[in-house]
Amino acid sequence: MKMGTIKAPVPPFAEFFVPVLRALDALGGSASIEEIDDKTAALMSISDAARAVLVGDGPRSKFDYRCAWARSWLKNAGLTNNSERGVWTLTAEGRASLPLDPEEIVRRVRRADAALRKAKVVAAPERVEAEAEAADIALKDWREQLLDILLVLDPAAFERLCQRLLREAGFIKVEVTGRSGDGGIDGTGVLRVNLLSFHVLFQCKRWKGSVGAGVVRDFRGAMVGRADKGLVITTGTFTADARREAVRDGAPAIDLIDGDGLCDLLKDQKIGVRVKMVEEVTVDEAAFAGF
């Protein structure tokens, strides 16, 4: 199913550098990717329609892709950093650069990138991917390769995969119902946290593009009075309105897992994704001085 195929302009790649820095500053110097993306879109006055425009046939949007590369280039320039938990921070150098002319910041980032390429610190495949992204010809990273596979799975197979994922994540009594006309509810499960258990209804759909607020509202309407929590899993992305709807005051909160989050969960649970750790050996010459 294709969603979010509205065509709207997305600013060029280099125009994201300064807004991303300013977004981090406005968010207190640290933020999640979702927070950075939302704040960057607001600073650049980018509409939800523009944020939903896909790179080619997807599954990622141009906005998400360009924000990701902006964060990466800013990190290479020493202006931002990120932790293993996906939290991005504004470095001291990044904060000091905020008063500079925006064009000077762009030049600084490009100079840092050129220096890394000259020193061959930036791998050629990354360089090819960055340049391809700027031309809207996106080569695929591991998440996009995985999402391509998930998108062609039989719907029942995708539901079974999500069932397995939830079980591996600690859910019990996970059942796939998949009844049509049930507000999009695909299954049920119980999440046990310490001494407490929560009855959860979930929806898992292979979407390409953005999932809007209407899907979240319909799902909430179907789950009210039937469960403690709701969970929507998709191969696509969620619009800003959908995320706001999921945590709207006075309504039961619904957790959202987008395509990138789904890929990370599959990697964490080692379901169809293998991670190869490369051993690095160095010699400490000083350690031999005392012999």
What mean pLDDT is predicted for residues 94-111?
92
> With a threshold of 0.95, does the pTM exceed it?
no
Residues contacting residue 284 through CB under 8 Å, at least 6 positions apart: none
- What is the per-residue pLDDT for 208? 82
Residue 146 lies in a domain: no
Residue 197 lies in a domain: yes
Task: Please state which of the ranges 5-14, 38-47, 146-155, 220-229 shows the lowest mean pLDDT.
Answer: 5-14
* Whether residue 290 has pLDDT greater than 80: no
Tokens of 216: 């979240």
The reply to whether omega before 102 is within 30° of 0 (cis) is no
Element containing residue 171 per DSSP (H, E): strand 171-176
Contact 128, 48 (CB under 8 A): no
Q: Which domain holds residue 28?
A: 13-139
Tokens of 13: 């790649």
Residue 1 lies in a domain: no
Amino acid type, 205: K
Number of domains in the chain: 2
Q: Are residues 95 and 197 in the same domain?
A: no
- What is the per-residue pLDDT for 134? 47
Q: How far is CA 176 from CA 155, 199, 200, 231, in A?
A: 12, 14, 12, 13
How do residues 212-259 score in pLDDT, each as one tens digit?
A: 899 999 999 888 888 889 999 999 888 888 999 999 888 888 999 999
Q: How far is CA 15 from CA 18, 43, 86, 195, in A?
A: 7, 12, 23, 50
How do residues 268-283 score in pLDDT, each as one tens digit?
A: 888 888 877 777 778 8
CATH number of the structural domain spanning residue 193: 3.40.1350.10
Which one of 75, 105, 139 terminates a domain?
139
